[in-house]
Amino acid sequence: SSELTQDPAVSVALGQTVRITCQGDSLRSYYASWYQQKPGQAPVLVIYGKNNRPSGIPDRFSGSSSGNTASLTITGAQAEDEADYYCNSRDSSGNHADVVFGGGTKLTVL
């Protein structure tokens, strides 16, 4: 099955812009989805598809994709954005069993 690679940790100054990336072959066939997980909480979907936000997700969160790399951008990071972020996609084989998560990126807001 495919793998998705994320940087383990990223930091951003309060109010600045940060990009979190996710690389993998499956991203040539499927859009990545992105999840925010704060300590002690379940993951929350923040971006899906080409660049869609579920209801309630601030518009400072956006997504993009190029080739085998997907990116989650937070424009004007806030203290409450400090969390772990995971990307996810389905393997291009189309098998439901071949779903994969990235290893996660810990975002620190300075």
Partner 1 sequence: EVQLVQSGAEVKKPGESLKISCKGSGYSFTSYWIGWVRQMPGKGLEWMGIIYPGDSDTRYSPSFQGQVTISADKSISTAYLQWSSLKASDTAMYYCARPVHYGSEYYFDYWGQGTLVTVSS
Long-range Cβ contact pairs of 40-48 (< 8 A, separation 24 or more):
43/86, 46/72, 46/85, 47/72
State which residue, 76 or 84, has the beta carbon closest to partner 1.
84
SS3 81: helix
Type of residue numbered 4: L
Task: Indicate which single residue of 18, 31, 74, 82 sits in contact with partner 1 (rule: CB under 8 A).
Answer: 31
State which residue, 1 or 78, has the beta carbon closest to partner 1.
1
CB 50 within 8 A of CB 31: yes
Give the span between the Cα atoms of 98 and 4, in whole angstroms: 12
Range in contact with partner 1 (rule: CB under 8 A) among 13-21, 29-37, 66-74, 75-83: 29-37
Range in contact with partner 1 (rule: CB under 8 A) among 17-25, 70-78, 100-108: 100-108
**Is 95 a residue that touches partner 1 (CB under 8 A)?**
yes
Interface characters, 40-59, with partner 1 (x: CB under 8 A): --xxxx--xx----x-----
SS3 76: coil
State which residue, 76 or 103, has the beta carbon closest to partner 1.
103
